[in-house]
Structure 1
């Protein structure tokens, strides 16, 4: 019987290894596991602080409803249409539109030839009438002496007295005619009735004008007013003496108090609007003739504040604005109650204090609690109180 060789004489069987295809399938899984491990390790590290975002901020302002804003024009309270009292040909125009004139300054001149000739004729008539009066007075004295000696009848003396009185009347009439002729000769010069500015010019040299035809319009120095038109639908709600605010187009943001001084009782037949005037308490030189201005009905916003339309955000189903938290310099979304939207602003009825710093633009790029750096419109840093 053949004996079995010892176990050491036989080589050990090699360990089993995965097939080549299976190892290639496992390699992506290993790489993925390593990547997830690395990302998990990175997430455990502290995230860097986010840089503060610069934002434009502004305080809320007094609300003015655009439905009660009217476009107007700066005018003088006293505006005069200047014209010659007599007809004639304009031979000289001494001023132009926009010039400042003084009281009594000559503005234009008519051809004085005919008027001076009329004055000379009136002078001659007065001289003739005075001669007739002197003759009648001499005859009256002689007849009076003859009547005392009873050399002429009483009726003849009365007739001579009547002739003397008639001669006196002729002298008076001739003197009056001479004064009228001299006045008309003086009317050939158009003079400024008061200090002011020439607003319009309607005649030129060489033009023949009628008596009373407008040659210039003069805006007198002194009080300036805002002329505007009221729509027919609002005439019942606006009365003279009502307070308003006035803002010049050239000076946005600057408003002066004023009052409605007068409202026309009749509507313009073409536009169906009522002409109105506002007296404004603006400093001297703050507003100039012809400038455009807006008239706001004061108090119509019921004391509400207003913010720019660009500041509005949404907080659920409500309107909101971002307000700067002074302690943390972060943006806080504050719900507000708004009124009717205007052209560029919206009134805020509640939810906002007058001293709040509101993000006026770029709020759609912010989130609640985000760090911000508030700046004003001149890009200067603002420190909320």
Structure 2
């Protein structure tokens, strides 16, 4: 037993010594580095009862009907619906025979006019020499000068006709004005098309937006520039950020609805495909926002506030609230739709404290970034 107690005493002494060394090693005078506190953030949502949803379709911001500048028989089509094209790519060709013949005729008229100009120039030079020797009258010399000027004008006109004819021959080829995707086709090879008749529709790469229709009863509730949320049918629950880019001032005579376009943020535009179905969630302009109950902080005086994440830190913002609901509370003042509000961990925060913010999908959040909610 004595040996056992001695062994235990030695083991205990060794443990105490190790703890002492560990404590002494940590006490080097350097301050402990406190990592940023993780917090969960979200953006305010429209208060219940003031938001509406409208079905729509993903469209290109720039949709250009492409047509030949001259008419003729379509002899070749180089692209089909869904093909991606680069600026200047050949799309279709119409029969250039007539335009090439017109160009040759214009070039022949130019050659004849240049021959007349050379003859008129030679006659003017001869008559000028005779006039110097007073062998012809001044009026005869003036007539030769006028003939030369007329021939020179004919040459200039013929050159312009050649340029027009060559342009007409060049217009027999339809080329892409910008990068994009062929969204639709309205003509086939062998068809005779008129000048200006649409052959393709090009969806440009300049951005993506949602085309929706607003009913008469709701069009006055929304304005250009107002923020909305877009939910794709293929990704329910994930919401993208957008804004009303345009709202038609007049109703469609058939449907009595107002066409509207919702532009997606550039960061979200790459996540959508042309033709996708989508739903636009839009709150009435000027309507209240709402936040989860956990986002509201109460001070000693009973005033309500919320922690807003900004530039890597949090700041307390006084807010006005409405009647508390089961899960959310309306916010009547103090917050903007683009604010990132702390909805978990706020009771442990201090003013100006550095935090590591993540959204509901556990993705890091940076102020001003677009995230699906």
Cα distance change on mapping 1:176 and 1:353 into 2, 3 Å: closer
Q: Which residue in 2 is equivalent to 1:154?
A: 138
Q: Sort the Cα spacing of 1:157 and 1:71 in 2 relative to 1 into closer, same or farther, 3 A.
A: same
CA contact (8 A) 2:222 2:284 kept: no
Matched, 1:136 2:111: no
Deviation at 1:147, TM superposition (A): 1.1
Deviations 1:266-289 (A, max 9, x none): 111111111111111143531111
Q: How does 1:125-204 map to 2 (within 5 A)?
A: 125-204=109-188
Distance 1:160 1:201 in 2: 59
* Matching residue of 2:67: 83
Report the counterpart of residue 280 of structure 2 in structure 1: 295
Measured after TM superposition, the shift of residue 299 of structure 1 is: 7.0
**Aligned residues: CA RMSD:** 2.3
Name the structure 2 match of 1:99.
83
Count of residue pairs the alignment pairs up: 256
Residue number in structure 2 paired with 1:309: none
Quote the Cα distance in structure 2 between the aligned partners of 1:240 and 1:128: 62
Length-normalised TM-score, structure 2: 0.65
Kindly name which structure, 1 or 2, has the bigger radius of gyration based on alpha carbons: 1
Q: CA deviation at 1:127?
A: 0.5
**Contact 2:51 2:283 (8 Å CA) reproduced:** no
Deviations 1:18-63 (A, max 9, x none): xxxxxxxxxxxxxxxxxxxxxxxxxxxxxxxxxxxxxxxxxxx956
| Mapping of residues 351-362 of structure 1, within 5 Å | 351-352=326-327
Which 4+ runs in 1 deviate beyond 4 A?
61-67, 298-301, 353-356
CA contact (8 A) 2:208 2:269 kept: no
Matches within 5 A, 1:324-335: none
* Cα distance in 2, alignment partners of residues 241 and 94 from structure 1: 40
| Matches of 1:284 and 1:290, distance apart in 2 | 13
- Mark the runs of 5 or more structure 1 residues left unpaired by the alignment: 1-60, 307-347, 357-385
Q: Name the structure 1 match of 2:232.
A: 248
What are the equivalent positions in structure 2 for 1:14-93 lying under 5 Å apart? 62=45, 68-93=52-77
Query: Over residues 50-81 of structure 1, what are the superposed CA-to-partner deviations in whole Å (9 max), with x where a residue is unaligned?
Result: xxxxxxxxxxx956658611111111111100
1:304–1:349 CA contact under 8 A, matched in 2:
no
1:19 corresponds in structure 2 to none
Could you say which residue in structure 2 is the equivalent of 1:217? 201
Deviations 1:79-118 (A, max 9, x none): 1000001110000011000000011111000011111011
Using the size of structure 1 for normalisation, the TM-score is: 0.63
**SS class of match (1:68):** strand
Deviation string 1:196-222 (CA, Å, 9 cap, x unpaired) is 000010000000000000000000013
Report the Cα distance in structure 2 between the residues aligned to 1:298 and 1:235, rounded to whole angstroms.
12
Report the counterpart of residue 263 of structure 2 in structure 1: 279
**Unmatched tracts of structure 2, length 5 or more:** 1-43, 293-322, 330-342, 345-373
